[in-house]
Amino acid sequence: MGVTERAGLEERLAGLEVTPGTAACVWLGQGGYLFASPGGMTLMVDPYLSDYAEPFWGVQRAIPPVIDPAHFTPDVVLVTHWHEDHLDAPTIRRYAQEPDVAFAGPESCVVRAEIWGWPAERRVILEQGDHHQFGDVGVTATFARHDEAAALTLDAVGFLLDIGGLRLWVVADSEYDAQLRAMARAGIDVMFVPINGVGGNMNAHEAALLAWQVAPRVAVPMHYGMWPDEQYGEGATLDPTLFRDTLTRLGGETEARVLQPGEIVIFGA
């Protein structure tokens, strides 16, 4: 597993070669990721590249976007639920104009993408349990329970990605739930799990418990650092070392890996 420096990210991604048996990953911040496959596919999950959530929730970016959608276009945009920091309207509108980009997610997201100009032939509905193949990448929508009373997301999902012989699970926004433990049978190599503990998400300790139960080779904490800490809400658990320390105390073989926004990480078998 290696890391590439962030400088010139768009250019580095354009020249990136992903070898068989590996998957490339970039944390876009919050719950967003970019993945690249050995077959040359690039997929963005929940890319939040604007400040679209600010007028709705009063939260402002604390970090700049790590990638400019005007200078990098993925093959697929996957969205887990319709909240503004996951279904980012300016980014969705921008990529809807590109001729070959596919959009996939639950119906509430696909309907919004349609309104924002995404053509029918490039839209795919992925509800819990649905599977779709994008080139050499398999995508399966997984269970999530994202209980946010102020903005219900009854069809929220996570995504299990099969890339380069690896299984990468983006848990996505979710409370801790016993149904998530079933992923222990899915042979997960890398899981990406929220730790902020407010707004319908598990906290850092619950996330560590889930990682211990699922037992991936690598567990990556996410959903922190996009906004100033105080804007996440009272009681938020935003320090990834809380996650790592709790996971260490629980024991097991899972490595807790803290990523930096914009770095290119190569996960291998």
pLDDT of residue 61: 98
Query: What proportion of the chain, given as a percentage, has pLDDT over 90?
Result: 94
Close Cβ partners of 44 (under 8 Å, ≥ 6 residues apart): 28, 32, 33, 34, 35, 74, 76, 77, 78
Give the angle 258-220-106 at the CA atoms, nearest 5°: 135
| CATH code (residue 99) | 3.60.15.10
Domain of residue 34, residue span? 2-268
- Above 70 in pLDDT, residue 218? yes
pLDDT of residue 100: 95
* pTM for the model: 0.96
- For 97-140, the pLDDT digits (tens) are 999 999 999 999 999 999 999 999 999 999 999 999 999 999 99
- Picking from 59, 41, 38, the residue whose alpha carbon sits closest to that of residue 50 is 59
Check: CB of residue 214 under 8 Å from CB of residue 252: no
- Above 60 in pLDDT, residue 5? no
Task: Report the number of distinct structural domains present in the chain.
Answer: 1
- For 199-217, the pLDDT digits (tens) are 999 999 999 999 999 999 9
264-268 and 2-4 strand pairing: antiparallel
- Above 70 in pLDDT, residue 95? yes
How many other CB atoms are found less than 10 A from the CB of residue 139? 22
- Above 80 in pLDDT, residue 26? yes
- For 148-205, the pLDDT digits (tens) are 888 999 999 999 999 999 999 999 999 999 999 999 999 999 999 999 999 999 999 9
Backbone φ and ψ for 227, nearest 5 degrees, come out as -115, 165
pLDDT of residue 1: 52
- Above 70 in pLDDT, residue 38? yes
Give the residues across from 103 on adjacent strands: 77, 123
